[in-house]
Amino acid sequence: MLEALDKVAPGIYSKHTLLYGVEVKFYSMRLKLTNNLETQIKNLFAAGDGAGVTRGLAQASVSGVIIAREIINRMR
Ligand SMILES: Cc1cc2nc3c(=O)[nH]c(=O)nc-3n(C[C@H](O)[C@H](O)[C@H](O)COP(=O)(O)OP(=O)(O)OC[C@H]3O[C@@H](n4cnc5c(N)ncnc54)[C@H](O)[C@@H]3O)c2cc1C
């Protein structure tokens, strides 16, 4: 692809070329959540992409940690 692109934009096919791409994501679902990621149903939490609160591995993982900490606090 870079070879073909080089014909349109000469010089792009070089070992110094860095490629940047735009990633567009659409999320239709977003639950109403508290800061602790609790839903409007008491003691029901939602984490990760399914809840519409994250868009990546690290964020999804952290959302689970937030919920786990809150559950531990409530059990004390
Ligand atoms: C092609 C692609 C590339 C990506 N690349 C990156 C990347 O480079 N870096 C990055 O940070 N993020 C990337 N992401 C995003 C990342 O994968 C997600 O943000 C992350 O996996 C969300 O984690 P999650 O636990 O919320 O959901 P998921 O990882 O989707 O986990 C949900 C789990 O629930 C299970 N499940 C669904 N329905 C049910 C059901 N009814 N009963 C039981 N289990 C069910 C699914 O099988 C799945 O295992 C990428 C995503 C895609 C699709």
pLDDT recorded at residue 66: 97
Pick the atom of ligand 1 nearest to 58's CA.
11
* Domain residue ranges in the chain: 2-75
pTM higher than 0.75 for the full model? Answer: yes
Q: What is the dihedral of CA 41, 36, 59, 52, to 10 degrees?
A: 30
For ligand 1, is residue 63 a contact (CB within 6 Å)? Answer: no
Specify the higher pLDDT residue, 50 or 32: 32
pLDDT tens for 40-60 read 999 999 999 888 888 889 999
Which of 23, 54, 57 is the best mutation target for the ligand 1 pocket, counting ligand atoms within 8 Å of the beta carbon and taking the most?
Answer: 57
pLDDT tens for 3-31 read 898 999 899 899 998 877 777 777 667 89
3-state secondary structure of 45: strand
For ligand 1, is residue 60 a contact (CB within 6 Å)? Answer: yes
Q: What is the dihedral of CA 10, 11, 14, 17, to 10 degrees?
A: -110
Residue among 23, 71, 32, 24 nearest 51 (CA) = 32
For ligand 1, is residue 48 a contact (CB within 6 Å)? Answer: yes
pLDDT recorded at residue 2: 83
